[in-house]
A and B are shown apart, each in its own frame.
Chain A
Amino acid sequence: MKDQLKQALIEGNAATVNALTQALLASGAGAREILEDALLPGMEVVGERMRSGDCFIPEVLLSARTMQGALDLLRPHMAEGDSMSLGTVVIGTVEGDLHDIGKNLVGMMLQGAGFEVVNLGTGVTPQQFVAAVTEHKATIIGMSALLTTTLPKMVATIGALKEAGLRATVKVMIGGAPVTQAYADEIGADGYGANAAAAVDKAKALVKA
């Protein structure tokens, strides 16, 4: 049944995934067992297909959404203190910029990979980022910008995190068309993803580090 669940998740078939998840729970399988033996391996396959260009982004998102549905079913069955999440990522488009499609895509892909995502939307000020990191105990903050003129807001946000004494506890990731690895290095960010898939890989690497 776990193989079927994994396969249904890869296909993004929400009805089957929900039914199989409930059936597995009813048959006595543990929530963590279902997560680790079926759902996460399924998303691994989806991620691999995406990296190799064998599937389209909307198909990946469908699997990611389906995964969320299954997680909602598993959550009440998780042992106390046992988290299903790889960590919490606070994401937003920086102040002065209202482009959000790329950032939203990264958010959905991170959720699919097992992160909790708090999406602050667009035009997010350094203070709002700092407040959200504190409130949600974020492990990663992801900043996006499309306009070259708003790039300095990334620097300002990193500065605000330092001032609030949070820089050591939170990893900083940046992305967007004008952003490069060199820019990430220059401003002292911990990670950069050239696209959504690379951002997810980077986020996973950062929480493992």
Chain B
Amino acid sequence: MTPAAGPGRLAPRLGLLDDKGCAYLHERTLDLLASVGVRFASVRARALLRAAGAEVDDESTVVRFPAGLVEMAIADAAGREVLLASRDGEHDAVLDGSTTYVGHDGMGAMTLDHRTGERRHSTDEDLRAAMIVADALEEVGFCWYVATPNDAPPAVQSLQGIATMLQGSSKHAQGDLSDPRLVPYALEVGAAASPGGVWDPQRPVFSIVYCPVSPLQHDEHALDAAMLLAEQGVPIVVYSLALAGATAPVTLAGTIVQTNAEILSGLVALQLAAPGSPFVYVGNSSIMDMRSCTYGACGPEAVLFNIALTELGHSYGFPVLSGGFSSDAKEICMQSGYEGGSMAMMSMVARPELLSGIGMLDSAGFLFLPKMVLDAEVVRQCRRVARGIDLDDRHVMLDVSARVGPGGHFLGAKETSVFLREGEHHAPEVFVRGTYDAWRASGVPEVERATKAVEEILATHEVAPLPGGGEERMRAAVAAAADALGHD
């Protein structure tokens, strides 16, 4: 009898929504879009939607969507491979479903300064430091607007953010831009970071997170900016930030349908403005904590939202950004480790193309740089789990077992070393294994180890420079924008 061939690598995959579940949620979403509708403050979006057959009430600004219009937009954007280009070409995030790229959490009005222990408003320097750490960490695949540069003029903060992100790391920058007047300046900043100093719509070095305002509203300026950027090849990530029980139905199912409706209604406007433009669906939502009235970003509901919405986004054929790593805890503790870790792990095996969330605490309230290093460790563990188990004769190692025999050991077998080098075992770098005595003797608590790693990166890591004159061009673009839009 010939031995059965191994099935090869088997990896864990989550299954929550089956086809029937996706179809049901889609139908209810279409019902919501057709009956209740969505408010669009943007005159341009309303005109596009009316011309495309939507029912538009200019007085209430509510738009009701025929199912066909929504499905046409889905068909236009689905199945496209979205590229989040890096400025050096070596760290591209190709959203083809084969890899989950991990990025920062965002966006932090505050930073917990790891040097002083003080929680204060974030500065441009905090954002830059978070980019340098991300640039150094192999586990980070793209950068997010993790801290707002509050020391820049308010009107141009988001623009300054994109510039600082592109300066601080050669990885792709995913930022925020909520004012259409900033679009030309943002494209100039993007051009200054692109090869040859020219904006390339095929290789966008930055993308934008656009947020509808729950329940069921699209802001005028933010959507106008997103539509203009989509026309220039900038990928748009539509991120609905509903709070179940407050700005969305209290139930998970109701919030999923509303979230889907907010994302899809945004998609329709974007596809009408820029047909076929790159689009990323967001598989994440949250609750309002009904005791403290605060944003509850993490916990069991978030895990379920992440899985279900990631599956729903994939069922349409969109690349998906989901969340993990983050926590509602205010300190590095069991809560932060469990919430962030379980969300990250569950999201990772739901296989989104993008997974944001490293570096923050307090429900994305503040940036804490050492957490980036700890989260990188979580990324490595998640990756090991997501990789799964290789089931083939080489990995079953019957030949080695025969050589070692009963009562022997595997430490001396050369295959043991080979497989260790191939990453069969996860090897912690910041987390601790080993003996209690060795741990006692080292005497350095976890956060201090992570802080030391951050300081070392900041002292030694060199970020690849921008194309010649890039920094000067960015400074000029931000200054010109501030002159045009105002310095206060």
Q: Show the binding face of A for B, using Cβ within 8 Å.
A: 50, 53, 55-58, 98-99, 101-102, 105, 148-152, 177-178, 180, 182-183, 195-197
Whether a CB of chain A sits under 8 angstroms from the CB of B228 is: no
Residues of B close to A98: CB separation below 8 A: 213, 219
- Report how far A50 CA is from B314 CA in the complex, Å: 41
Once the chains bind, are A148 and B109 in contact (CB under 8 Å)? Answer: yes
Instruction: Work out how many contacts link A and B, with CB atoms closer than 8 A.
Output: 51
Q: Which 4 A-B pairs have the closest CB atoms?
A: A178-B109, A149-B154, A56-B290, A148-B109
Which B residues between 352 and 385 are near A, CB-CB below 8 angstroms? 365
Q: Which residues of B contact A177 (CB under 8 A)?
A: 109, 295, 365
**A57 proximity list for chain B (CB < 8 A):** 288, 290-291, 293
Q: Are A102 and B157 in contact (CB under 8 A)?
A: no
Q: Given A98-B219, A195-B292, decide whether A148 and B150 contact each other with a Cβ distance below 8 A.
A: yes
Minimal Cβ-Cβ distance residue in B for A178:
B109
Across the interface, do B291 and A56 meet the contact criterion of CB distance under 8 Å? yes
B148 interface hit (Cβ, 8 Å): yes
C-beta contact mask, B136-178 vs A, less than 8 Å → 1, else 0? 0000000000001010001101100000000000000000000
**Distance of A152 Cα from B110 Cα, bound (Å):** 16
A101 near B109: Cβ-Cβ < 8 Å: no
Looking at the complex, which one of B158, B293, B365 makes contact with A102 (CB distance below 8 Å)?
Answer: B293
Most buried by B among A98, A148, A150: A148
Interface pairs (18), CB distance under 8 Å: A55-B291, A56-B290, A98-B219, A99-B213, A101-B246, A148-B121, A149-B148, A149-B155, A149-B158, A150-B154, A152-B154, A177-B109, A177-B295, A178-B109, A178-B110, A180-B119, A195-B294, A196-B293
Q: Does chain A have a CB within 8 A of B249?
A: no
CB-CB < 8 A to A58: which residues of B? Answer: 245, 290
How large, as a class, is the contact surface on chain B? 20 to 34
Which residues in B have their C-beta under 8 angstroms from that of A151?
A: 154
A149 near B247: Cβ-Cβ < 8 Å: no
Chain A interface secondary structure, helix, strand, loop or mixed?
helix
Are B488 and A148 in contact, CB atoms less than 8 angstroms apart? no
A50 CB to nearest chain B CB (Å):
8
Per the bound structure, the CA–CA distance linking A197 and B295 in Å amounts to: 15
Whether A53 lies near B291 (C-beta < 8 A) is yes
Interface membership of B209, Cβ < 8 A: no
CA of A99 to CA of B219, assembled, Å = 11
Most buried by B among A99, A102, A149, A178: A149
B243 interfacial contact with A, CB 8 Å: yes
Q: A58 to B289, alpha carbons, bound, how many Å?
A: 11
Inter-chain CA distance A99–B155, complex, in Å, is 18
Q: What separation, in Å, do the CA atoms of A177 and B246 have in the docked complex?
A: 16
- CA separation between A76 and B50, bound complex, in Å? 50
Contacts of B121 in A (CB 8 A): 148, 178, 183
Task: Beyond A101-B247, A195-B294, list 10 extra A-B contacts (CB 8 Å).
Answer: A50-B291, A53-B291, A101-B243, A105-B293, A149-B157, A149-B158, A177-B109, A177-B295, A180-B119, A195-B292
